Amino acid sequence: MGGWGMIKNRLPSLLRHFPEGIPVASTRSYFVHQNDRKSGYRKKKDENIIKNVRDGLKQLKHEVKAWKEEVKERITHDPFEFINPGHVEPLWLFEEDDCLPSWKVSTDTDWGLGFSSASLERSNLGYAAFTGNLDTTVPKDGKTSRAGYCSMQSAEPRKSFQREDYYDWSLYTHLIMRVRGDGRTYRVNLASVGYFDVTWHDQWNYLLFTRGGPYWQIAKIPFSKFLLTAKGRIQDHQGPVPLDRISSLAIVCADKVSGPFRLEIDYIALQYDPSHTEKFAYEMYKVPDFTD
């Protein structure tokens, strides 16, 4: 009998070694270790340990296969990379069937901070359609001061066994998007989640102005044009995007105009343009301390 069958048969005896329950590193229902950044900030819920173990065993075969691929790529990878001028590297091709499930949609309604709604579906022509209704009505809870937020965000990359990973876009200069909008202004967010909690909300933003009507547009966005923000507020201390540590990309509708919105997306890609030598387009200065 193979190792996989032995693990299944020994499961009851393995559980007897943990009378208080198997220690799980995450509050999520994963047996495979997965860090939870907010585990120290929220109460832990009771978990079904048996279910976690069963789910973990189902994941184990896939995780080991992913680990083998990582080792193989590390051995065969050429550390000296060269990109031809004008090269375009596709990131997300929304005509592919496995692309849409890797994105998640969230609104202010999900957090009890508003009444907006949104969805991400495939359009009749096979593209991604980010649609919904933006509602700027502020809830009467005595805490919320503004509302109206809808976003679609890419899943954070993971290595085998649920280890954290980042996108490395340091060889490229531009973000390329082929979209068909409704005349609204959207926001493109690049997140670079750091180790400390004060950096969890760091994002670099760029305003994407769309055209109304039936025509597609190709937006070529220099990475040097992104502004550093935290929780939606522009920071005084600015700096270029850390392109070697991108954790996710998001497209946000939050232009303070109530009503329906629709943004179709064909693809999102990267481009290397050697003629673009600008590192950062905005002033970088340090605000003096408020001292006498």
First to last CA, the chain: 77
- Residue 29: CB atoms within 10 A of its CB come to 14
Q: What is the CATH number of domain 88-271?
A: 2.60.120.430
**Size of the chain in residues:** 292
Judge whether residue 24 has pLDDT over 80. no
Q: Identify residue 207 by its one-letter amino acid code.
A: L
The dihedral of CA 263, 268, 270, 273: what is its sign? negative
Judge whether residue 98 has pLDDT over 90. no
Q: What is the pLDDT averaged over residues 190-204? A: 78
Of the listed ranges 12-26, 113-127, 246-260, the least confidently predicted one is: 12-26
**Mean per-residue pLDDT of the chain:** 81
Each residue's pLDDT tens digit, 132-165: 999 999 999 888 888 999 999 998 887 767 777 7
In sequence order, the 6+-apart residues with CB closer than 8 A to the CB of 218 are 176, 177, 178
What is the share, in percent, of the chain residues with pLDDT greater than 90?
46
Each residue's pLDDT tens digit, 217-274: 999 999 999 999 887 788 888 889 999 999 999 999 999 999 999 999 999 999 999 9
Task: Give domain limits for the chain.
Answer: 3-76, 88-271
pLDDT of 129 reads 96
Please provide residue 37's backbone torsions phi and psi, each rounded to the nearest 5 degrees. -60, -30
Strands 259-271, 88-93: pairing is antiparallel
> Quick one: tokens of 109?
């309604």
pLDDT of 50 reads 78
Burial class (CB in 10 A: 0-12, 13-18, 19+), 175: buried
Rounded Cα gap, residues 70 and 251, in angstroms: 30
